[in-house]
């Protein structure tokens, strides 16, 4: 009898605790690394299917004009958590940056507003995370196979398994033990789909029958674009895209500069997985050795290998987004949770002949953004207003009913999510600034403005070149119109608009260059 009584009281307590007494929406923010719109089927032109990511879009909203402020991991993450451009949050580049965690951040403000805050996965801001009740992060870029995690007490441990699955397991485990009476914001930061695209064993043979179409401008020779000519992110170049490290093809005797890095990653596998891995890539290497390729044929071969491995990594990612959504659904959390899916930037899938990001050209300036909305937010379908990753912080704060500090530079997306008519008042242009040069991939420093139909970019530092694009007639940005008298009017107008944005965001770069 006593036993039954105890059980009933425990059950009652659980039911009571399960009701979230604070009705503000939860937020699950899923951010991947280097996942791009071209590889997400909801965006309409992907060669692979991403059903779970698409589910978010179909049940919620898809932002068709979504951009970053600085197309690189650390800087992008810093923009996201501060709601400010790089020159204001101080984290301008991966190579020399340490994020000043004592500054105001959105996670801190959410915490102060009574939210439980947790961060799991890639952090990449060097300093210790601040503003999180709980964190469990990857060191630096992290590893796909049996990754090491840095726990909140400073200790590290190697966790068995595939990184994308582990990050999801940890996210679910955190939600399981949270205080159900208070709202939460959970940041799920995947390593996928970052270089060097190491697949989960169960998908190692997926996509091998698929031949990916080359983008129209795959053989771009970058005329009229000096910075593009001098980049080091070309699929064709053996220096930029390495046969061993990137395409996982061993050419006997060809011990490239990255072999040790590659072996370091592969040696993390335990013996059963290592066998599967080697069986697969060794057989590819063997057939390559029997039928060696060169010139254009070799470049196209590298492109196919790149696309297939990227697709495999994306497949595991899509599964795991599905797992997380199912967890929310099964636990009756979906109705009152904002689920955001985005990436730290877009990526080149062979456009201009490239991989990687950094440039202000469309593929890497854009980032996928879909949201499944909590009750009370009625908007559905495509949102075509121009949004940027500095907008997430004010959006989450407004949803939490917390004040938005004046120095936050992004705009809250709440009016858009409520389906309100913004009466033409929404921004008509976005500002971009990339700083990491000299550095890997050799993309020059640049800043610029993108409007609905035009783009003006200034490459500076060891170069002084402007580029102007008419995005309506030249969406793949092949023709630099800068200085062409036919476009003098647009050029002048964009220069003016750019200066206005730099004034608005208080970026002193133009005066520094004079």
The partner in contact with residue 195, picked from Ca ion, ligand SGN, none with C-beta cut-offs of 5 to 8 angstroms by kind, is: ligand SGN
The partner in contact with residue 196, picked from ligand SGN, Ca ion, none with C-beta cut-offs of 5 to 8 angstroms by kind, is: ligand SGN
Q: What distance in Å separates the CA atoms of residue 253 and residue 205, rounded to the nearest whole number?
A: 27
Q: Which is nearer to ligand SGN, 183 or 346 (CB)?
A: 346
Q: Which is nearer to ligand SGN, 244 or 325 (CB)?
A: 244
Q: Which is nearer to ligand SGN, 281 or 469 (CB)?
A: 281
Site for ligand SGN in 142-201 (CB under 6 A): 194-196
The partner in contact with residue 94, picked from Ca ion, ligand SGN, none with C-beta cut-offs of 5 to 8 angstroms by kind, is: ligand SGN
The partner in contact with residue 356, picked from ligand SGN, Ca ion, none with C-beta cut-offs of 5 to 8 angstroms by kind, is: ligand SGN
Q: What distance in Å separates the CA atoms of residue 210 and residue 491, rounded to the nearest whole number?
A: 43
The answer to whether 142 and 171 are in contact (CB under 8 A) is no
Query: Of these, 33, 143, 300, 362, which contacts Ca ion (CB under 5 A)?
Result: 33
**With binding defined as CB under 6 A, does residue 234 bind ligand SGN?**
no
The answer to whether 50 and 36 are in contact (CB under 8 A) is no
Q: What distance in Å separates the CA atoms of residue 327 and residue 342, rounded to the nearest whole number?
A: 19
**With binding defined as CB under 5 A, does residue 37 bind Ca ion?**
no
**Least distance in Å: CB of 211 to ligand SGN?**
25
DSSP summary character for residue 441:
T
Q: Which is nearer to ligand SGN, 57 or 198 (CB)?
A: 198
Helices (H), 271-391: 271-290, 295-330, 362-365
The backbone region for 415, taken as left when phi is positive above 0, alpha when psi lies in -120 to 50, beta otherwise, is alpha
Of 418, 424, 430, which is closest to residue 455 (Cα–Cα)? 430
Q: Which is nearer to ligand SGN, 55 or 194 (CB)?
A: 194
Distance, CA of 307 to chain centre? 17
Query: Of these, 33, 54, 143, 309, which contacts ligand SGN (CB under 6 A)?
Result: 33
Instruction: Give φ, ψ of 454 to 5 degrees.
Output: -135, 160
**With binding defined as CB under 6 A, does residue 356 bind ligand SGN?**
yes
CA torsion through residues 346, 352, 353, 359, sign: negative
Q: What distance in Å separates the CA atoms of residue 236 and residue 331, rounded to the nearest whole number?
A: 49
Mark residues 123-142: x for contact with ligand SGN by CB under 6 A, - for none. ------------------x-
Mark residues 424-443: x for contact with ligand SGN by CB under 6 A, - for none. ----------------xx--
Joined together, the tokens standing for residue 472 give: 């309506």
Q: Quick one: which H or E segment has residue 121?
A: strand 116-122
Task: Please work out the total of residues on this chain that contact ligand SGN, with binding judged by CB under 6 A.
Answer: 13
Q: Which is nearer to ligand SGN, 37 or 356 (CB)?
A: 356
Q: What distance in Å separates the CA atoms of residue 304 and residue 301, rounded to the nearest whole number?
A: 5
Site for Ca ion in 55-114 (CB under 5 A): 73
**Least distance in Å: CB of 38 to ligand SGN?**
16
The partner in contact with residue 59, picked from Ca ion, ligand SGN, none with C-beta cut-offs of 5 to 8 angstroms by kind, is: none
438 preceded by cis ω (within 30°)? yes
Helices (H), 162-258: 163-177, 226-229
Instruction: Give φ, ψ of 372 to 5 degrees.
Output: -100, 125
Q: Quick one: which H or E segment has residue 451?
A: strand 445-451
Instruction: Give φ, ψ of 201 to 5 degrees.
Output: -55, -40
**With binding defined as CB under 6 A, does residue 231 bind ligand SGN?**
no
Q: What distance in Å separates the CA atoms of residue 136 and residue 511, rounded to the nearest whole number?
A: 42
**Least distance in Å: CB of 70 to Ca ion?**
11
The answer to whether 34 and 344 are in contact (CB under 8 A) is yes
Mark residues 300-339: x for contact with Ca ion by CB under 5 A, - for none. ----------------------------------------
Q: What distance in Å separates the CA atoms of residue 338 and residue 399, rounded to the nearest whole number?
A: 9
**Radius of gyration of the CA atoms of the chain, in A:** 23
**With binding defined as CB under 5 A, does residue 240 bind Ca ion?**
no
**With binding defined as CB under 6 A, does residue 363 bind ligand SGN?**
no
**Least distance in Å: CB of 512 to ligand SGN?**
24
**Least distance in Å: CB of 94 to ligand SGN?**
5
**With binding defined as CB under 6 A, does residue 73 bind ligand SGN?**
yes
Query: Of these, 70, 82, 94, 314, which contacts ligand SGN (CB under 6 A)?
Result: 94
**Least distance in Å: CB of 126 to ligand SGN?**
12
Query: Of these, 20, 32, 34, 362, which contacts ligand SGN (CB under 6 A)?
Result: 34
**Least distance in Å: CB of 194 to ligand SGN?**
6
Strands 337-343 and 26-32, sheet pairing: parallel
**With binding defined as CB under 6 A, does residue 319 bind ligand SGN?**
no
Q: Quick one: which H or E segment has residue 469?
A: strand 465-470
**Least distance in Å: CB of 194 to Ca ion?**
6
Q: What distance in Å separates the CA atoms of residue 75 and residue 129, rounded to the nearest whole number?
A: 15
- In the complex, which residue's CB is closest to Ca ion? 73
Return residues touching ligand SGN (CB under 6 A): 33-34, 72-73, 94, 141, 194-196, 344, 356, 440-441
């Amino acid at each position: 009898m006593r036993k039954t009584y105890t059980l009933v009281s425990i059950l009652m307590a659980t039911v009571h605790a399960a009701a979230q007494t604070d009705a503000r929406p939860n937020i699950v923010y899923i951010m991947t690394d280097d996942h791009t719109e071209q590889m997400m089927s909801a965006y309409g032109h992907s060669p692979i299917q991403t059903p779970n990511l698409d589910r978010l879009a179909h049940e919620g909203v898809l932002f068709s004009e979504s951009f970053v402020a600085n197309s690189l991991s650390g800087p992008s993450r810093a923009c996201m958590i501060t709601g400010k451009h790089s020159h204001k949050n101080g984290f301008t580049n991966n190579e020399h940056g340490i994020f000043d965690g004592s500054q105001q951040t959105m996670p801190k403000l959410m915490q102060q507003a009574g939210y439980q805050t947790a961060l799991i996965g890639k952090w990449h801001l060097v300093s210790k995370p601040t503003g999180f009740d709980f964190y469990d992060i990857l060191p630096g870029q992290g590893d796909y196979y049996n990754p090491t995690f840095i726990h909140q007490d400073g200790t590290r441990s190697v966790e068995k398994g595939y990184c994308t699955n582990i990050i999801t397991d940890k996210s679910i485990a955190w939600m399981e033990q949270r205080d159900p009476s208070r709202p939460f914001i959970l940041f799920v930061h995947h390593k996928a789909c970052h270089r060097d695209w190491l697949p989960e064993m169960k998908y190692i043979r997926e996509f091998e029958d698929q031949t990916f179409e080359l983008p129209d401008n795959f053989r771009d020779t970058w005329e009229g674009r000096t910075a593009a000519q001098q980049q080091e992110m070309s699929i064709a170049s053996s220096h930029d895209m390495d046969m061993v490290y990137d395409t996982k093809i061993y050419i006997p005797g060809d011990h490239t500069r990255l072999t040790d890095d590659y072996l370091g990653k592969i040696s993390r596998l335990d013996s059963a997985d290592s066998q599967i891995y080697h069986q697969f890539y060794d057989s590819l290497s063997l057939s390559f050795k029997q039928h060696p390729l060169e010139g254009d044929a070799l470049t196209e071969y590298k492109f196919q290998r790149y696309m297939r491995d990227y697709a495999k990594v994306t497949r595991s990612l899509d599964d795991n987004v599905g797992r997380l959504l199912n967890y929310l659904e099964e636990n009756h959390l979906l109705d009152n949770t904002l689920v955001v899916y985005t990436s730290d930037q877009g990526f080149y899938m062979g456009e201009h002949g490239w991989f990687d990001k950094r440039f202000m050209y469309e593929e890497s300036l854009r980032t996928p953004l879909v949201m499944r909305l909590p009750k009370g937010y009625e908007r559905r379908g495509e949102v075509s207003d121009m949004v940027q990753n500095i907008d997430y912080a004010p959006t989450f704060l407004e949803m939490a009913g917390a004040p938005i500090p004046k120095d936050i530079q992004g705009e809250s997306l709440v009016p858009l999510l409520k389906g309100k008519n913004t009466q033409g008042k929404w921004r008509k242009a976005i500002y971009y600034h990339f700083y990491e040069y000299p550095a890997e991939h050799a993309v020059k420093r640049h800043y610029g403005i993108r409007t609905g139909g035009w783009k003006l970019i200034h490459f500076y530092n060891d170069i002084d070149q402007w580029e102007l694009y008419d995005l309506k007639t030249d969406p793949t940005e092949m023709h630099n119109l800068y200085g062409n008298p036919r476009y003098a009017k647009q050029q002048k107008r964009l220069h003016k608009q750019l200066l206005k944005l730099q004034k608005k965001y208080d970026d002193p770069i133009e005066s520094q260059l004079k």
